[in-house]
Every structure is written in C-alpha cells, then in structure tokens.
Structure 1
Amino acid sequence: MAQASQATIGDSEFDRDTALVRRSEGVYDIDLSTGWTIFNAVNGGFLLAVVGRALGDALPHADPFSISAHYLTASQPGPAVVRTDVVRTGRTLSTGQASLFQYDDRGQEVERLRVLASYGDLDALPDEVHTSVKPPAIPPIEQCFGPEDSPAPVPASSPITDRLMIKLDPSTLGWALGQPSGKGEMRAWLGLADGRDADPFSLLLAVDALPPTAFELGLKGWVPTVELTVHVRSRPAPGPLRVSITTRNPAGGFLEEDAEVWDSADRLVAQSRQLARVWTG
C-alpha cells in the first residue's frame, strides 16, 4: 500500500536532525533535537540512527548490516559528539565502533551509548529469498488509529509522536483505552510524518518507535533501552512500513522486545531485539 512521498531523503526533519558536522577524522558534532524525546530523554532508535550515520561516513561501506548499541546513560537534548573507530575493512563488510558523548555540568564528557557495527552494500546483495516468515496481519491503514484520532491526549505521548506517522492496530491499542490485552504485542503502520520514505538509517529508528509492549501488559512508566541490536536486511521500498513488536518474558524488572519491519513490497527489511528496563514507579 505505497503512498506518495511528500519529503525526499535529504530535506526532511529526520535528515536535518541526524546530520553531523565532521570535526576531525572520525569525530563528529551534533546538537540533539528536543523533537525526538520520550519522557525528556532522546529516543534510543533515533540515537542509533545518529551514530549509524557517523559510522556510515567513517567506514568504506555506507549501509548498516548489523548494529548493536549499549545505552549507558540517558541522552538529553543538546550538544553531543560521536567518536568513531574503524576496526576492520574488507571487500564486502567493514566493522567499526563508536560512542556518543555529552557533557555534564562541569563540562566533562559523559558516554551515553557505545556501538559496534558491521557495514556493507545493501544493493550488492543477491535477490533470492528463502523465508518462512510472513508480514504481520494488520488492518488497512485507514482502519488503524494514531494519536491524532484520540479525543483526549494519548498516555505517554511525547514530542517524537509529532514526527512520526503511527497508525496502531486496534487489537494492540487497549492500553490507550485503559484495557490492556495482556498479550505483550504492538503492531502499527509507521512512517515519518513529513512523508519521507524509509532508508536503512530510518529503519534503526523504526524498530524503537512504537509504544512499549509493556503497555499492553498493563505496565506503566518509562521503559528505557539497555541494549539494542538491529539487522538491516534490505533497502526498503517506498511507502509506509509495517512494524510488529512482541515480548514474551518480562521478569526481574526487564523485558525483551523482538521487532520485525516490513516494507510495502512485503519484504522483511529489518529485525531487532532489545533488552529494556521496566520502571513502574
């Protein structure tokens, strides 16, 4: 169900807000926007896209294939620096690591997240697909609901919501009505609000852009990411994405979330798993 783009890659808010300024070889500056925050902290998927862009510039290959991030401290809007290091370069894959730092009240650098990633060329991958997975069964986009469809403010709504087109599957929307299903599932159509089509870097945001599955379990509060690994499988076709996220084992104050991202051509373009903390206080 492709929709025409209103913004092209390069002129959207996402591109402007993830743009970095190269200070020196492998070192990049950025001012993290308030527009991508949840509970006053910058969204983890957005941060991964920022660091992912830095690595895409530093490495000889441009596309993230596998990228893993450990979130050490919560990132705040404001100045930040990304420091990258080339670990290995090869003919088809390159590996790099990077960290994002901000500054405390004394002007000292504080590491916010650390990333290890392998990059390659998505356009050079063979076309054959052998898969047993199928796209999630989500009603047509016009039968799903976003924050703008609610007569009252949606619980846990944050600035990032205004930058996304989110249309949630009604069967995973019980939490917003005070009637969580208890299934630990979240499904939605997803895109950027300005119509900019997805690319490999916005996929890094997509896996972490939906409301937490904890909400459908009846849990409330902040669910910060501890670790997030994303596998980008293909360059997405134009049009809205379908995102499905599940959790099966909330225990000991933590939960895992497994995400699949499908494009308008019914291809699985990204997968992820993250470990998140559940703050119920």
Structure 2
Amino acid sequence: MAQALIGDSEFDRDTAVLRRGPHEPGVYDVELSAGWTIIAAVNGGYLLALLGRALGDALPHPDPFTISAHYLTPSAPGRAVIRTELVRTGRTLSTGQASLFQYDGNGAEIERIRVLASYGDLDSLPDDVRTSAKPPAIPPPEHCVGPADGPVPDVGGSSAIMDRLMLKLDPATVGWAVGAPSGKGEMRGWFGLADGRDADPLSLLLAVDGLPPTSFELGLKGWTPTVELTTHIRCRPAPGPLRVAITTRNLAGGFLEEDAEVWDSADRLVAQSRQLARAPRG
C-alpha cells in the first residue's frame, strides 16, 4: 500500500475544518469521526489536533508551540463547531483561544473543550540543543507488541482508533493485556499512523494521547477521561516512526498525571506533555 502524504491522509481528512466565512470570523464547522473513538468517547489527542488545525488557520503564525486544553464534557462522533479568538499577536508568537461545541437534543450548544495556545514558526527556531533528556529504551518494532500480534484485550467499549494507528508497545508495558499489570505506571512504544503518513506538529498532538493509559499498567480498567492536557511542540519531526514514553508517578484522590515524551527518528525530543486524568473506578 502506498504511503499516505501529509495533507492527503485519513488523519487530515478527519481533522478538516471548514471556515464559515466573513460573516462569522474565526468560526469553523467540523465533523468528529467515529474512527477515533476509544471506550466511551472521541480520543482527546484527536480532538486537540482538530482545535490545533483551526487555530493554525485563524492565527498569524502556523505552528503550535504550546497548547493547553480543558476537557469539559465528553465528545461524541458527529457535527461540531469550533470558535476561535485572537488574544494577542507579536513578531514571533501569537496567542489564541478556541472552544469546541456540540449540540444537545434541542440544538443548543454544549462546550466540550476549551484551549489556550501560543503559535509560532518552528522552521525559524535556532538549532542549539542543551538537554539531559535521552530517548526511551524501547526494543526494535519487530520485538514489540501490536494489535495484530494477538487477541485485542477488551477495553470495555470502542477501540476504533486502534485501526488508525501503528502501535508497537514495549513488552515490558503490556502486562495489563494478559492480566498481569506491572504496577509501574509506564507505557512505551513506537507510534505512527496506520496509513504511513509521516508526523507533523498536528499529529504530535495526537501522539501524546495515543497510547493506552498508564492506568492499565496500574491494574485499573476502563475509561481514563482527560481533565486537562498541556502539550509543548519543540521542533518539526523528521520522517519515520515516533517513540513515545509515558509515566505516572502519583495516583491520589481518584486522579493521576501522565507525563509524555515524543522522540523522532533523528533522536530529537519533538513533543512533551502533561495531563491530569480521572482514574478508572475498576
């Protein structure tokens, strides 16, 4: 199968936004695809990419540098509207906010997500790197575990998103799939889109929330809804698969944090995130 190209892939089609026009500036009509659902709702990273695409069209700068999202109510497949607002613009950064709304049975808008983001131009950044961060130690993809390598565990609902991703998980983090979670709160693996589309800044917003939740390896089953997710895009990723490592150090009061790092094929840290999520009750 030919590799899909950036701008012409299922991900691009399913994150398309339609500008309403001069009569409603900054307003976009969208369709939330059922193909990106997991358990009980549309995946939060996919939703973040939708909002990120709308802001990239509305703001003077093209690339997300930092985007913080608060997930207010669960999203469902179907039509929605994104309303954006320019907060401030400068020479190197512009800041905007956006909200995604769906409709109740009476046609009234219900806010699903609200984000605040700063955009810039990743191609204008200097090349200097001073870091103590190191790429995660993950076995080669052929020694990792994907959905095609055995029965897909029952996650208690939809797993449609798995058909759209190339996931190869580190065997050390898949004990949950065979009823033997490690208890370490770690998830690591190779990540890409199933149609072979290379990563770009928008798909990095999906990648930070694309692996199974660390709560599975803590022995908890079920939906782990995101409350807040902040993502930093550090540079434009090189072609090839990504490596994603997610850790949870603290589950308390029914909530947990997930810290994610995304590395590209050139061993560069291209994205980082932290999210607060509600722990499953199981």
Q: Which position in structure 1 is the counterpart of 2:276? A: 275
Amino acid at match of 2:31: D
Partner of residue 221, structure 1 = 222
* Residue aligning to 1:155: 154
| Contact in 1 for aligned 2:39/2:222 (Cα 8 Å) | no
Structure 2 residues without counterparts, runs of 5 or longer:
none
1:97 and 1:117 in contact (8 A); partners too: yes
Report the counterpart of residue 29 of structure 2 in structure 1. Answer: 29
AA of the residue aligned to 1:159: A
Alignment partner of 1:57 is 2:54 = no
Q: Which residue of 1 aligns with 2:239?
A: 238
Name the residue aligned to 1:197. Answer: 198
In 2: Cα distance, 1:266 partner to 1:205 partner = 19
- 1:119 alignment partner, SS class: strand
Alignment of 1:75-86 (within 5 A): 75-86=75-86
CA offset at residue 233 of structure 1? 0.1
Q: Is the 8 A contact 2:40 2:223 kept in 1?
A: no
Q: CA deviation at 1:39?
A: 1.6
Structure 1 position 280, deviation (Å): 1.5
- Is the 8 Å Cα contact of residues 5 and 197 (structure 1) preserved in structure 2? no
Shift of 1:221: 1.2
* Deviations, residues 33-71 of structure 1 (Å, cap 9, x unaligned): 000001231100000000000000000001000000000
What displacement does 1:11 show?
1.1
- The 2-side partners of 1:262 and 1:153 are apart by 26
Identity percentage over the alignment?
Answer: 77
Q: For residue 247 of structure 1, what is the aligned residue in structure 2? A: 248
Counterparts of residues 81-100 of structure 1 (less than 5 Å):
81-100=81-100
Measure the CA separation in 1 of the matches of 2:105 and 2:159: 25
Alignment partners' CA distance in 2, 1:75 and 1:122: 30
Ranges in structure 1 where 5+ consecutive residues have no aligned partner? none
Query: Counterpart amino acid of 2:153?
Result: V
Q: Is the 8 A contact 2:94 2:120 kept in 1?
A: yes
Cα distance in 1, alignment partners of residues 43 and 152 from structure 2: 20
SS at match of 2:127: coil
Deviation at 1:119, TM superposition (A): 0.2
CA displacement, residues 1-33 of structure 1 (integer Å, 9 cap, x when unaligned):
xxx971101111000000011013200001110
Q: Distance in 2 between matches of 1:237 and 1:33?
A: 27
Q: How does 1:99-118 map to 2 (within 5 A)?
A: 99-118=99-118
Determine if contact 2:139/2:170 at 8 Å carries over to the other structure.
yes
C-alpha distance 228-142 of structure 1, shift in aligned 2 (>3 A)? same
What one-letter code is carried by the residue in structure 2 that aligns with 1:155?
D
Let me know the Cα RMSD of the aligned residues.
Answer: 1.1
Q: Which amino acid aligns with 2:248?
A: T
Contact 2:257/2:276, CA 8 A, preserved across alignment: yes
- Pick aligned residue for 1:12 from 9, 17, 39: 9
- Comparing 185-194 and 152-161, the one that deviates more: 152-161
| Secondary structure of 1:217 counterpart | coil
State the TM-score, normalized to the length of structure 1: 0.97
* One-letter amino acid matched to 1:182: G
CA contact (8 A) 1:5 1:239 kept: no
Deviation at residue 155 of structure 1 after TM alignment = 2.9
Kindly state the Cα deviation for residue 162 of structure 1 after the two structures are TM-superposed: 0.2
CA shift for structure 1 position 265: 0.1
Answer whether contact 1:5 1:196 (CA < 8 A) is retained: no
